[in-house]
């Protein structure tokens, strides 16, 4: 176990150095050149904490590193090698996760505090203590995102399928709320669909802490439901990684990705939700978009199966998901949709003097 841990650390030294150098350079440039204060009657006011730059870097690292750490499963030769090691699968997974987290968080940490030092050296009006609080808050958020991306990507049998899974699962939880936001306009005031994108907790937290650092933070209503959902999905993803660790097989590398966490689930659900969010109120555009959704669904199933000869169950799922989505769209448009308030008209007195 110790030898494997040392090997994993040595293997990641070069990418660690490269990621750290690139991240520090980017944050240093943004920290030195960004517009951070404004002056009004001799009083300085903070306008930009620049924490969005390291936040974006952390999001990229929490996507790129899981791809690097688990792409070995996508090639038969490397999968045979790693799965034949005299180390339990669960221990291999634990070492890869810990090494991956270091590979993501060390560059982020170095870049974050390099940028902080540069900003402190410039004239500013920041509430500096919140740079520390945001950093501490970003670590668990990044770890949850890392776990979700690791689980989703590792369910594929090829790199391209894994990237497609990452993209699909990033937005899937937001789709039911997008439907509700489409037909119940007031619902978005209470629950926003984009808060359920997997990268949203990091983004929302950066916006809120930017306000704290600049001294003008507003209420963060989305936190009441966004962070519990992120925590639940992140913990479930880590549990899923260890649950599937002993079930993965080297012979699956490079084959069709037939996991229930992949195309089998994503394609019918997206066809359903896109059809449901396509409002019949749009007239002829509704039929055009419906036809495009159906054609695109067929194309995606062809990509999934790598053949134009689809299985009967694929065609059935495609048609059922599409029909159910259209039915739900009609229900939303004609039953539950809130009427759009007419524009306010101000009565004009004809005798009013011009």
Domain regions of the chain by residue span = 2-158+193-250
Task: Return the axis-axis angle of helices 200-214 and 223-244, rounded to nearest 10°.
Answer: 140
The more confidently predicted of residues 341 and 289 is 289
Give the three-class secondary structure for 87.
coil
Average pLDDT score over the chain: 88
Q: Which residues contact 11 (CB under 8 A, 6 or more apart)?
A: 99
Q: What is the pLDDT of residue 172?
A: 94
d(CA 269, CA 317): 10
Residue in 206, 234, 53 with CA at minimum distance from that of residue 145? 234
Q: What is the pLDDT of residue 346?
A: 52
User: In degrees rounded to 5, what are phi and psi of residue 351?
Assistant: -90, 0
Q: What is the pLDDT of residues 154-200, one digit of tens each?
A: 999 899 999 999 999 999 999 999 998 888 877 777 888 889 999 99
Placement of tokens 């920290």 in the chain = 31
User: pTM score, two decimals?
Assistant: 0.89
d(CA 80, CA 66): 20
Read off the tokens for 146.
């890392």
Q: What is the pLDDT of residue 215?
A: 86
Sign of CA dihedral 183, 185, 189, 195: positive
For residues 213-233, average pLDDT = 85
Q: What is the pLDDT of residue 20?
A: 97
Q: What is the pLDDT of residue 84?
A: 75
Question: 310: pLDDT confidence band, cut at 50, 70 and 90?
Answer: confident
The more confidently predicted of residues 190 and 102 is 102
Question: 283: pLDDT confidence band, cut at 50, 70 and 90?
Answer: confident
């Amino acid at each position: 176990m110790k030898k494997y841990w040392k090997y994993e650390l040595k293997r990641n030294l070069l990418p660690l150095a490269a990621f750290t150098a690139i991240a520090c350079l980017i944050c240093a440039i943004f920290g030195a050149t960004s517009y951070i204060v404004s002056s009004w009657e001799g009083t300085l006011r903070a306008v930009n904490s620049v924490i969005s730059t390291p936040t974006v870097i952390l999001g990229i690292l929490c996507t790129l590193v899981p791809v690097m750490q688990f792409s070995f499963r996508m090639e038969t030769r490397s999968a045979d090698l790693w799965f034949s090691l005299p180390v339990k699968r669960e221990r291999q997974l634990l070492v890869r996760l810990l090494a991956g987290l270091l590979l993501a968080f060390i560059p982020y940490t170095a870049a974050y505090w390099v940028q902080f030092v540069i900003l402190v050296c410039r004239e500013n009006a920041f509430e500096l203590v919140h740079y520390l609080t945001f950093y501490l808050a970003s670590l668990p958020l990044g770890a949850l995102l890392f776990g979700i991306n690791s689980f989703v990507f590792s369910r594929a049998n090829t790199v391209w399928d894994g990237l497609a899974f990452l993209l699909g699962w990033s937005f899937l939880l937001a789709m039911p709320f997008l439907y509700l936001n489409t037909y119940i306009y007031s619902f978005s005031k209470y629950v926003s669909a984009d808060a359920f994108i997997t990268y949203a907790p990091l983004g929302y937290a950066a916006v809120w802490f930017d306000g704290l650092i600049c001294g003008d933070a507003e209420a963060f209503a989305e936190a009441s439901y966004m962070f519990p959902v992120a925590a639940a999905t992140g913990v479930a993803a880590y549990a899923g990684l260890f649950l599937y660790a002993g079930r993965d097989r080297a012979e699956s590398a490079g084959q069709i990705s037939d996991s229930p966490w992949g195309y089998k689930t994503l394609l019918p659900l997206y066809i359903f939700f896109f059809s449901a969010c396509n409002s019949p109120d749009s007239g002829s555009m509704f039929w055009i978009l419906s036809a495009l959704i159906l054609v695109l669904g067929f194309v995606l199933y062809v990509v999934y199966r790598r053949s134009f000869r689809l299985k009967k169950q694929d065609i059935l799922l495609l048609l059922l998901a599409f029909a159910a989505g259209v039915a739900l769209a009609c229900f939303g448009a004609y039953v539950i949709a809130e009427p759009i308030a007419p524009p306010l008209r101000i009565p004009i007195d004809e005798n009013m003097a011009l």
